[in-house]
Structure 1
Amino acid sequence: MEDLHYKQKKIHSVGKTNLECGLINLSGEPQLPYPNKKINLKFKNPQEAVDHFQISLNNEQKSIFDILNDLSSNLEDKNKYYLEKYTNLIEEVYECLRSKIFPKKRYRSLAEFLDSAATKPSSNSISIRAVLASPTALKELPYFINYANIYKKYGFNIDLKFFMVRWEYLNEAQSLDQPTLDSIYQEQSLDVKKALINKGWEDAELIPVNTEIDFPTGKVTSPSDFHDCNHEVMSAKSTLPPNTRLSSDINWVENFYNKQDSLQTLGKEQAFCDLVIRRAIGKRISEEYSAFATNKNHYYMMLTSELNGRFLRCYDTLATIHNLSMR
C-alpha cells in the first residue's frame, strides 16, 4: 500500500550479449551454445546501484546465476539453450523486485525450478497468488500483471489468482455507513475484474476476501480464520513470556507506523489490524503452497507490493514471496 511513483532506473549490465556468445545469429534463429562454453550470465554491477536495496538484489541475482551456471554443466547442449533463455528471464524478474526473494535463501528454489524446466521446457507450470489491497488494487494490478507476463513470455503455464482483500483505512471507514462501504468494495472488485479482462487475463481468478472490522478498535471479526488471527495477535500483546516471533512483529509494526509520517496518523489500531490481515492471508496461502512444495515441475509464489521488506515476515507464510517495486 505504498505511494506510487514510477521512476525508471538504468543500471548498465556487464558481460557479453547473446549474439557474442553465439546464441543468436543474424537471421534471428536460436543456436546452441558453443561446446564446453559457460552460458551467458549477466548481472548488474553493485557499484553502479542506486541504493542498498538494489545492491542486495544484484547480489542475489548473481547468486542465482552462479547456481544456474553450475547446474548447466550437467545439461545436454540442447537444454543449455533453455537455461540461457531463463537467465534472461531472471534479469527481467529482478528489475521488478523491491526486495530479495523471501524467506532468505529461497531464491535457490527458483534456480532449481528453472534447471528442471530446462530439461522439460513444455511441462512446467507456475502458480502466482497476488495480494491486492482494495483501496490501492487498481494501482497494484498493472505491476502484478506485468510480472506474470514475464513468466508467460518464457513459455510457462501460469495459474494466476488474486486475493482481493477488503483492506480499509479505519479512520476513514468510521465516517461512512456499512452500505456505502459495501458498495465501494463491490465497485473496486468489479473494476479489477474489468482490468484483468482488458489485460488479457480473463481466466485469472479474483478471490474476494470480505473482511469485517470493528473500526474504533481495529478488531477483525470475519472471516473466521481472520478472527482467529486477530485473537492470536491480541493475545501475544499481553502474554508473558511473549511469543517471540509474533511479539517481534508486533513491536516492529507499531514502531514503524509511529515513525512514518504517512502512517502515523492512522494510529496503532490500524497497525495491528494490518498485521492481522497480513498473517491471515499468509496462512491461507500456506495451506495451498504445501500441496506444491515438493513438486519440482511446479513453482509457487506469493506476490506482494510492500514498501518495506520487513513486512514480508508479518505474513507468517510458508510460501515464497516475491515483493514487487511500484516505482
Structure 2
Amino acid sequence: MALYGPLLYAWLPLLVFLLQAFHGGSAHSSCSENNGGCDQNALCSDDPTTGAMKCTCKTGYTNTGCDDKVVCTDSCTVNNGDCHSNADCSHDATTNAVQCICNTGYTNTGSGSTVVCTDSCTVNNGACDPNAFCSHDAKKNAVKCTCKAGYTNTGSADNVVCAESCPADNGADDPNAICSSDAGNDQRKCTCKAGYTNIGCHRRVVCRGTMISDKIDAFPPHLHTSDSCTANHGGCDANADCSHDATTNAVVCTCKTGYTNTGSGSDVVCTDSCTVNNGGCDANAVCSHDAKTNAVVCTCKAGYTNTGSGSNVVCTGMTI
C-alpha cells in the first residue's frame, strides 16, 4: 500500500483534468470553440466562480429565448426597444446601443437617457410665434404654425413670424386708408376713408356719389389711395364742383353757377338753371347767363319794365 500512495499522488492532476472534462469543465475556455455554442449575437464567457460557460446578448440585442437557451434578437423589434410609443427605435452607429428618437411632431421631455415623447404643440407652443396657433400637418404630422386673427405672417412658410396686421401706424400703405383684418383669411385689408377712392395698380375702384368705399386685400397688392375728387371727378356731374364734407370728408357735389340740382337724394344732377322754372326769373322775363360768371340773368321781355330792385327783377307791363 505504501507503494500505491506515491503513485496516486503523482497521477492526481491527470485524474482531476479527466474529471473536469467529463463533467463539462476544461483546462481551457470552451468559449474558444464555436463561440461556446452561444447565439451569433451573444458574447460567450466563463463564470469565474463555477467555471460554467455563460452566453450574454451583445449591446443592442435582447434575449428572447426561454429557460437556459439564449436567443439574441434585435432590441428594436422587441417592444420597440423599450422606447416611447411615439418614438422610433434605432441603433448607435458606434456602440449599437438602442437609440430612441421622437417621431415628427413630438418633443423629448424626458431627462437624461429617458426619452419621453410629448406632442410638440403642448411644449412651448411647438416653438411657434406667441401670436400663432400650433397644429400638425395632416400628412407628416409636422408642427404647423398659423397666425392668430389680427396678425399676419411677415416671415416665411417655414419661419412664421406673426406681426400685428394693423399696428399703431395703421398698417396701411397710405395715410388715407383704414386698416383692418379680414375675418375669413386673416389677411390685412385696407378700406379707403370717406371721400377717398382706391385707384391701385391691381384693382381700379372708383367712388361714385357722395361716398363709396371699397376693400381690397393689402397682401400682396400695393394699395394707393387718392382724393376722390381727382378720380372721375368724384362721381359728380360734369357741371358740378367736387369737394369734401368738412366733418366726414365725404364727397360733396355742388352744381356750378348757372346750374340747378334736379337730382333726388344724394344723386346730384346739374341742369341749366334757365330750363328749370325759368331760372327763377319773373314769368315775363327771359332767362340767360352772364358771359363771364354764367350766373342767371333775368331780362324783362319787350313791353315790360323792371320795377324790382337790385338782383330781384320784377317785370311790370308798360302803360300807354
Q: Which TM-score tier does this pair reach, normalised by the shorter chain? A: under 0.3
What's the TM-score, normalizing by structure 2? 0.19
Could you say which structure has the larger radius of gyration?
2
Which structure has more strand as a fraction of its residues?
2
RCO higher in 1 or 2 (8 Å CA, sep ≥ 6)?
1
